[in-house]
Every structure is written in structure tokens, then in C-alpha cells.
Structure 1
Amino acid sequence: MARARRSAVVALLAAGAVLTCAAPACAQGARPATDGMTDSRLFVPAIDGDARNPNRFRRPAYGRPPAFGAGTSGFRSTNTRAVPRPPVPAVVEAAPLPPLAPTDVTVPEVYRAPPLKRPPSANPPELPSVHQRRAVVRRGPADEDPFGPLGIRAGAFVVKPAVELSGGYDTNPPRQTQKQGSPLWMVAPELLIKSDWSRHELQLDLRGSFTGYTDLPDYDRPMLDLKAKSRIDVSSQTRAELEARYNLQADSPGDPNSPKDAAKPPRYTTTGGTAALVQRLNRLEFTLKGNVDRRVYQDATLNDGTTLSLDDRNFTQVGGTLRGAYELSPGIKPFVEAGLDRREHEPVSALRDSDGRTLRAGLQYELTRKLVGEISAGVLTRDYDNPAFANVRAPLVDTALTYFMTPLTTVKLEMKTTVDESILPGVSGSLTRDYSLQIDHSFRRWLIGTLRFGYGTDDYEGSLREDERYRVSAGLLYKMSREIWFKGEVRQDWLRSNVGGVDYTASAILFGVRLQR
């Protein structure tokens, strides 16, 4: 029986194998002919699985459910009912413990040292910084002149010494119609001392020069100008200003007030001082100033070797001014000024004593550092004690403006009106007006060119004489370093008068070096 069952199983397996091999052959034989046409089912993508029963994806078990973190208000973004949470059991307070019975315990005494006290002068300990910060380096203001002298520090003062050495040629040192030329040389030392205090200020300005002419030594010209200025800050609204001065000069060659037969221009000295009080009341500012000056002439040396006293030209001037200014805005300050002065001569010429009055109004301004200065106009009068002398009355125009046209170009304009003394017969005084224009241009920060134009008039009251003065000059300054500068200048002077025999023309050229510290 067992053998028969095994034979039946083998027969069944053999029959199945035959049927399996015959099925593909039948299928190939039953496929219809396509006549070269491509079966469209070749381009149908195969589907992994049964298209009528697509795959089903389970919900991932990772992440947070949509209602995770919802509050107790009952809202859930899944729109499903929240599962009620089991109630939290109440906390049952434990019964208080019975009080402890008091017990006496002996504890040994422990000595504690008192805390150390930090002395008042000691600095507090520095706490470590969480973030390490780099120190901030603040740059100082830009140096206006990188080739300017730095000076020498002497305690609370800054000392700036300098000296100029020049040489050249002048075609007419006597300033006469007949020219007489001569080589010239000049030495000009100077010393500037200025305090560096937080309050108050003291400044000494000492300048001098000596111009020598090789072929005409009689026309050598000394010059000395000494000034001491101080400012005392009484309060934030009040200050006092003091000034003392000394000046040594010589009459200009060709001056009509000099003796005709003088061998060389006479010299004179001027000594004086000024005291001023400035009071500021909000935007108002008042300045009260008083001054005194004394001019003394030395005796003149004549061509024959004798001397001539010039005491009749000595005089003393005492005066005062009062100015009121109002600051309209920062940098714009209109003002009104009134001044009085008295000139008294030596007894030999007491009849030349006179009183002067000045009234003017002006504007002092500083507009964004482009235009800085002061301009004023008014009336100037001088009345003489001697009725034989004509009084002087004239319009007054004073200007000192600086216009910074570009960072490289600067324009300066100056105008001044004064009444000078005169000893000409029948002449009460000389009304002098001076105008000057200066243009500075920096080709480089160390190379500066300068052009100057000057014009002036001298009107002798009581006489028909009127003089006109002209000057043109061009200069070049080369700043080699802070200590050494090289200079060169060419200038031309003219004098034209309605009186014959006094006109002249003069030309000069100068080259020099300036040593400073």
C-alpha cells in the first residue's frame, strides 16, 4: 500500500511538470499577429501590487499628536472628544508634631575675628568681566597744519621760538623819485609763549626784525613789537582782558612828516596798555575798554651831522570804548560801538591837541567756518583845540573777513580807517584808508602760494595833497618739515600824488628760510 501511494504522488508531480512546460508554448501559438505594430502595453508602467487593492499606510508612532499641549479649556484641533483625566487626589496635611521639651545645653564659646575694613582711599575690587571688551580709542581733532611747529613744553606753558633769515635786492630803499638800489638782508626772531591752563590765559608775543641795506646803511630799519595779553575768567559770564605793549619803529622812507634833510628816517617808540571788562547777560554782551598810549620820537640826525629835536611830534592818547552786542543765533552777532579819545602833545605843540569820537555799527559772524570775521561802518570825527586847524569828519569802514573758499583756498579782506598826526604847515591831520586782499592757495599741504593786493590813500586835511599807494606781491612757501620752511617773495610798490616830486616806484625780491621749534 505504501509503495502504491508513493507511485501515485510521483505520477501527480510528473503530470504537473508537463502541464507547466506546455502552457508557454500554447500562449505563444495563440498570440495574434501584429504586422510590425508595437504593443501599447509595453509603455504601461508596472504597478507594484494590485491596483484594485492599493497599499494602506499606518499612522506613524513618532512625533507629537495634534492635541498635545492643549490647555484645560477643552479645545482640540483634531475635533475629537478629550479623554477625561483621573481626578488628582487631595493632599492630606499631616498632624503637627508635639513641641519639644526645653533642654539646657552648654556650648563652648567660639572667638570670631572682626572683619577687615577697607581703607577709604583703597579702590573697590574689580569684578571679572563676563565679556572681554576692547578699549575704545578716541581720535583727537585733525591737525589744521601738519607742518606747524609743536613748541616746547615748559611746565604749564608752551614756548614756540622761531627765526627768519632772508636776503634779496631792493631797487629803491629811500622811496624817492630817483632810484638807488641796494642788496638787503633781514633777521627776524620771534618768541611766542602761551599758557595751557584750564582757566585764565597768559600770552607773550615777542617779535623783532632788522633790515640792513649793504649799499645804503643809513636806511637800515629796526623793528620791535612786544605784547603781553592776559584773560581773567571771573565767572562763566564775566571776564577781564589786559594787554601791555611796546613798539619800536622808524618812519617810512618818503614820509612827508620827516625832516627833509634827515640823513636817515627818525625812529620812535610807542608804549601803552589796554584794560577791558566783558559781561554777558544771556544773549547780550557788553564790553567796556580803556586804553592809554604814549609815542616818543628820537632826535633826527641831519646830513650835516647835527641833530634835530622832534619833541613837537610826541603825544599821549587816552581813550575808551563801549560795545553792546546781541547774539541773534550761534555765529551771528550784530553790535553797536561808541568811542572817545583825547590826544595831548608836548607843550611846544600844545595847539595840536584834539578830541576824537567814533560811532559805528557792525556784524560779527562765523558761518559754518566758511566766512569768519567782522565788518562795521560808521562815522569818525576829530576836533582840534586850535581853530586854525580844520576838523576831520569822514565815514568809517573797518573790515576783517576770512573766506574759506575751498579746503585749499583762503581769501582775506581787510579795510581800516584812521586819522594820523601830521606836522606839515596848515595840516591838521592825515585821513588814512587802507584796503588789502590776500589769496592763499595750497598746491600741496606743504606748498602754499600767496597773492596780495594793497591800496591806500592819504588825505591831508587843510592841504590839497592827496597820495595814493599801491602794492602787489606774490610769494611761495615750502614747508619742508615742522622745523624748516623756505620762503620766496616778489613785490612792487607805487606812490602817486598830486604834488610833484614825491612819486616813486620800488621793486624788491626776497628769499629766506624760517627755523622754528
Structure 2
Amino acid sequence: MAPRISRSIKAGALLVQKRARLLVGCVLVFAGPAGAQGFEGSPGTNAPVVGAIADAGTPAITDPQTTGAVAASDLPPALDEDFNRLNRREETIDGLRTRIDPDAGQAAGLRIGSFVLKPALSETFNHERQKNGSTSQSRSFMETGLKGSLTSDWSRHQLSVIGEGVLQNNISGEGEQEPRADVDAELRLDLTDETAARLRAGYSFEREDANDPNAIANAEEQSAVNTYRLGAAIERDLGLVRGSVGLDFERQTYGDVDLDNGTTLSQEDRDRNTGTLTGRLGYELSPALIPFLEASVGKSIYDLRRDTLGFERSYMSYAGRGGLEVDLGEKLNGELALGYETYRFDDDRLGDLGGLSVDGRVNWSPQRGTDVLFGLLTYLDPSTTADNPGSINYELTNIITHQLRSTLVATLSNSLTLRDFPSEATAADEATWRTGAGLTWDMSRYLALTGDVSYERTNRDVGSSSDTTRVGVGLTLRR
């Protein structure tokens, strides 16, 4: 009887030991993930986690705060593997380091149904000094700006609205206030996997620049320019061939100008409607290189058949260009195109206005946190001067943005605009150079401190040059 009793006691002890180990393992399976999440949720702390599992080969630490700690060697192999998997950080599919989210730390915006609204309100104090020939004037003013974006969060299709408005109020000195507003909306319809349609609408308001060749010399305040835009386009991907066709409509109206002698000058003879049909065809040599051809034809009709000087300003427009679209990821992308553009006026006395066009936009990121933009733009600007059809303008832009720290961003911008008039025109060619620098310090995700300084100079072949210097500091509130 004694040997049989002894064997029963040993079997019972072994069964108790197995059940104890199984019970401890089950408890730790449920406690382990919670402990791991609690640890990762408090980075930088060395406080021990209840239920944490010591690494293999490391003895368990027993003190009043870590009672019940269990060494990994005390667990069955299967449970040991499960604990390592639960406590290990999730890796990317390709094993590379996770990219930094460029939107991290920014205001998340307001959710309105299936839309996300991101508004920003800014208030800036500025001082400006303008010099035109031998005369100069200065002013100090407050500038209030409101901008934002509204984007849909749909599984298919997308609606986006982007807007910005600026009001200026002079505090001291003399100088023309420059209010402006701009809003654009686009609805993308995903008709099929290869076909998409885009519907666009927009509005812009600005006051004509006093340095513009079409500006009125003795005006108290330059003309208010309103621009209304509508557009529709369809894009089709046919394997290696990509094509698009678009139709755009634009209406521009000009407000009356108050002169310094107390009279008012109407600008209604400049109001016009313009429609443009554009087609584009591209061929995919590779996912990164797509050469393309683009052509457009348009018609501009003025509200008044003849302007105050007796000229018929309505015209037909023709343009063609060829270029290359490049997409090498976030490091380098954009497109560059060369072509020719011309306006053919109804009045033979004005002749034709046209010339070589160079257009493009290139984004380059030499290193993370630094973005460089190069822009080229060619556009024709009709004139209001007798016997002068207008000018062809070339604009070169460069903007460099560098993240000095996670909350401090520096911006450097430069642009050069060349205004070329036909040789027979009486107007003089112009060159305008602008440069500026700014700093933005994000004090929090909702509040930022900004500072800017800029300088602009316009040189004319005939007549005096002009200079404008501006310094400003302000706050931006984001949501």
C-alpha cells in the first residue's frame, strides 16, 4: 500500500504543478498586452509594468512594486513566442523605417458630416514703404486674413473647396489698401476605374496694381477686378495612352475708378467673357516619364463691341505646346512644356499678340524637411492703350521651404516677371523682381507666430522705376 500511496501523491503533485503553470500562463496572456500597451503609451518612463515578461536569460526582479513578475524561461515555449509577438512593435511590410507623417502635430480640423473643415484666421501688423521715382510714401496697416479648406471623406468621388480672403485697414500714413479674395471648388467624379470627370467653379477679387500698365495714373483708388470661373473636364486612361478634354469659361468685370479731381471713370469697356477648349494627349514611356501634346482654342468677347478709343478688342486665341511630365516620387516631380500662344484681334489696327510660351512646375525635395518649387508661367495680357494690343508676360518663381525644427519653418521666395510689348507698341517693357523671407513658429497645433519681410522693384525701359518694402509680424489661429 505504501508504494501505491506514494505514487498517487507524486501524480497529484505533478497535476497541481501543471495546472498552476497553465493558470499563470492564462493570466499573463490577458495581462501581457495591457501591460505592453501601457508601457508604450508612456514613452520615456522607466516605471515597471505589472505582468511584464522578462527577456530570456534575464532573471525576474522581485521587489514590492513588481511582485508576481515571471521569467520567460518559466513559460512553455509556445506561450513564450506569443508574448514576444504581443510585446514587439508592429513592423512595416518592407521592413523599412516608418515615414514621418507631414501632417503630424497639425490641427485636425472640424468634421461636418462627411466633410473635414480646416480654417485659419490670421491678424498681422505691417509697415510698407513705396517709392516711385522721386516721390515716396509710407503706411502702417493691419491685415486680417481668413483661409481654409473643406474636403469630402467619401469612398468614391471627392469634393474640395479652398478659399482665402484678406482685408487691410490703414492705421497711419498714406497708401492704397489691397483687399483680395479667392475661392475655388472642384468635384471629381470617378465614373470608372479608367475615367474621371472634373467640375470646377471659382471666384476671385482683387484691386488692380498701381504699377500695372493698364492702371489709371491719377486714380484715388484703382479699379476693382472680379473674375468668375466655370470649367468641366473628362480624363481617360487607355493603358499607355492618357487623354483629357476640358472646357473653361471666365468672366472679368472692372469697377469704376474715382479720380483725384473728383470725377469717376467707367471701366465697363474692359468687361469680357472668355471660353477656352483644351485637349491633351500623353504617352506613358514609364510610370515616371510621360511626354504629352496639348492644344487649345478660345474666344474672348467684350461687352462693348468698341472701347472708348474706338478699337474692337474681342479676339480669338490659339495655343499649342509639347512637354514632359516627370514623377519620381516625393523627391522630384512636375512637368515642363514649350509652345506658342497668340491672340488675333477683331480690329486689324491692333495686329496680333503672341510669342513663345514656357510653362512648367517642378517640386524637388533634396532632403526631408526641405522643399524647393520652381515655376514657369507664360500669359498674354490685353491692353487698353490705343494702338497697343498688350504684352506677353514671362514669370519665373522659386520658393524654398525648410524645417529648421519640428515647430519652426523658414521660407525664402523669389520671382521675376518680364513684360514684353510688341516693337511697334508705344508702351515700355518692364521687369519686376520680388524677394521675401519668412518664419513660422508653431507655438501649438492651434496657434502660430509669423514674421515676414519682402522687397519688390520694377524697372522700365522708359520712365522711372518703383520700389516697395514691407515688414510684418502676426498670429495665426488654426482649427
* CA contact 1:486–1:514 (8 Å) conserved in 2: yes
2:148 to 191, 211, 226: 191
Output the CA distance in 2 between the equivalents of 1:494 and 1:217: 19
CA distance change for structure 1 residues 204 and 138 in 2, over 3 Å: closer, same or farther? Answer: farther
Which residue in 2 is equivalent to 1:493?
A: 456
Question: Are 2:365 and 1:404 aligned?
Answer: yes
> Unpaired segments of 5 or more residues in structure 1?
1-129
- Correspondence list, 1:54-93, <5 A: none
Which residue in 1 is equivalent to 2:212?
A: 255
2:200 to 229, 243, 247: 243
Output the CA distance in 1 between the equivalents of 2:132 and 2:341: 31
Question: Are 2:415 and 1:458 aligned?
Answer: no
> Following TM superposition, by how much is the alpha carbon of 1:219 offset from its aligned partner in structure 2, in angstroms?
1.0
2:324 to 351, 363, 386: 363
1:152 to 82, 88, 110: 110
Output the CA distance in 1 between the equivalents of 2:261 and 2:126: 31
CA distance change for structure 1 residues 319 and 304 in 2, over 3 Å: closer, same or farther? Answer: same
Which residue in 2 is equivalent to 1:326?
A: 283
Q: What whole-Å deviation, never above 9, does each CA across 1:39-75 have from its counterpart, x for those lacking one? A: xxxxxxxxxxxxxxxxxxxxxxxxxxxxxxxxxxxxx
1:266 to 200, 223, 228: 223
More strand by share: 2
> Following TM superposition, by how much is the alpha carbon of 1:258 offset from its aligned partner in structure 2, in angstroms?
1.9
Question: Are 2:428 and 1:428 aligned?
Answer: no
Which residue in 2 is equivalent to 1:164?
A: 122
Output the CA distance in 2 between the equivalents of 1:355 and 1:258: 24
Q: Secondary structure at the match of 1:312?
A: helix
1:382 to 336, 343, 351: 343
Q: What whole-Å deviation, never above 9, does each CA across 1:462-500 have from its counterpart, x for those lacking one? A: 235101101111111112221111111111111110121
CA distance change for structure 1 residues 215 and 361 in 2, over 3 Å: closer, same or farther? Answer: same
* CA contact 2:236–2:243 (8 Å) conserved in 1: yes
Which residue in 2 is equivalent to 1:295?
A: 252
Output the CA distance in 2 between the equivalents of 1:325 and 1:263: 50
- Of 471-480 and 395-404, deviating more is 471-480
* CA contact 2:354–2:380 (8 Å) conserved in 1: no
Which residue in 2 is equivalent to 1:476?
A: 439
Letter in 1 for 2:455: Q
> Following TM superposition, by how much is the alpha carbon of 1:380 offset from its aligned partner in structure 2, in angstroms?
1.1
Which residue in 2 is equivalent to 1:72?
A: none
> Following TM superposition, by how much is the alpha carbon of 1:165 offset from its aligned partner in structure 2, in angstroms?
0.9
Output the CA distance in 2 between the equivalents of 1:334 and 1:368: 17
Output the CA distance in 1 between the equivalents of 2:193 and 2:174: 54
Letter in 2 for 1:446: T
Question: Are 2:352 and 1:391 aligned?
Answer: yes
Output the CA distance in 2 between the equivalents of 1:375 and 1:149: 34
Letter in 1 for 2:403: S
Output the CA distance in 1 between the equivalents of 2:427 and 2:222: 25
* CA contact 1:175–1:253 (8 Å) conserved in 2: no
Higher Cα Rg, which structure: 1
Output the CA distance in 1 between the equivalents of 2:325 and 2:106: 28
> Following TM superposition, by how much is the alpha carbon of 1:383 offset from its aligned partner in structure 2, in angstroms?
1.2
Which residue in 1 is equivalent to 2:164?
A: 207
> Following TM superposition, by how much is the alpha carbon of 1:154 offset from its aligned partner in structure 2, in angstroms?
1.7
C-alpha root-mean-square deviation of aligned residues, in Å? 2.0
> Following TM superposition, by how much is the alpha carbon of 1:418 offset from its aligned partner in structure 2, in angstroms?
0.2
- Correspondence list, 1:125-136, <5 A: none
Output the CA distance in 2 between the equivalents of 1:217 and 1:500: 23
Letter in 2 for 1:184: F
TM-score (norm 2): 0.77
Which residue in 2 is equivalent to 1:467?
A: 430
Q: Secondary structure at the match of 2:137?
A: coil
Q: Secondary structure at the match of 2:245?
A: strand
* CA contact 1:175–1:254 (8 Å) conserved in 2: no
Which residue in 2 is equivalent to 1:277?
A: 234
CA distance change for structure 1 residues 224 and 162 in 2, over 3 Å: closer, same or farther? Answer: same
Q: Secondary structure at the match of 2:135?
A: coil
* CA contact 1:202–1:230 (8 Å) conserved in 2: yes
- Of 457-466 and 284-293, deviating more is 457-466
Question: Are 2:474 and 1:512 aligned?
Answer: yes
Output the CA distance in 2 between the equivalents of 1:142 and 1:438: 22
- Of 347-356 and 185-194, deviating more is 347-356
Letter in 2 for 1:510: G
* CA contact 1:363–1:376 (8 Å) conserved in 2: yes
* CA contact 2:138–2:175 (8 Å) conserved in 1: no
* CA contact 2:138–2:174 (8 Å) conserved in 1: no
> Following TM superposition, by how much is the alpha carbon of 1:148 offset from its aligned partner in structure 2, in angstroms?
2.5
Q: Secondary structure at the match of 1:180?
A: strand
Output the CA distance in 2 between the equivalents of 1:215 and 1:305: 23
Q: What whole-Å deviation, never above 9, does each CA across 1:69-127 have from its counterpart, x for those lacking one? A: xxxxxxxxxxxxxxxxxxxxxxxxxxxxxxxxxxxxxxxxxxxxxxxxxxxxxxxxxxx
Q: Secondary structure at the match of 2:221?
A: coil
CA distance change for structure 1 residues 491 and 430 in 2, over 3 Å: closer, same or farther? Answer: same
Output the CA distance in 2 between the equivalents of 1:217 and 1:341: 42
Identity %: 26
> Following TM superposition, by how much is the alpha carbon of 1:141 offset from its aligned partner in structure 2, in angstroms?
6.3
* CA contact 2:210–2:216 (8 Å) conserved in 1: no
Number of aligned positions between the proteins: 386
CA distance change for structure 1 residues 236 and 177 in 2, over 3 Å: closer, same or farther? Answer: farther
* CA contact 1:212–1:221 (8 Å) conserved in 2: no
> Following TM superposition, by how much is the alpha carbon of 1:218 offset from its aligned partner in structure 2, in angstroms?
6.1
Which residue in 1 is equivalent to 2:28?
A: none
Question: Are 2:303 and 1:340 aligned?
Answer: no
Output the CA distance in 2 between the equivalents of 1:329 and 1:160: 36
Q: Secondary structure at the match of 1:252?
A: coil
> Following TM superposition, by how much is the alpha carbon of 1:216 offset from its aligned partner in structure 2, in angstroms?
5.0
Which residue in 1 is equivalent to 2:67?
A: none
CA distance change for structure 1 residues 218 and 407 in 2, over 3 Å: closer, same or farther? Answer: closer
- Of 179-188 and 385-394, deviating more is 385-394
* CA contact 1:177–1:505 (8 Å) conserved in 2: no
Q: What whole-Å deviation, never above 9, does each CA across 1:196-240 have from its counterpart, x for those lacking one? A: 111000011121001233335661121111111110011101110
Which residue in 2 is equivalent to 1:182?
A: 139
Letter in 2 for 1:489: D
Letter in 2 for 1:509: V
Q: Secondary structure at the match of 2:262?
A: coil
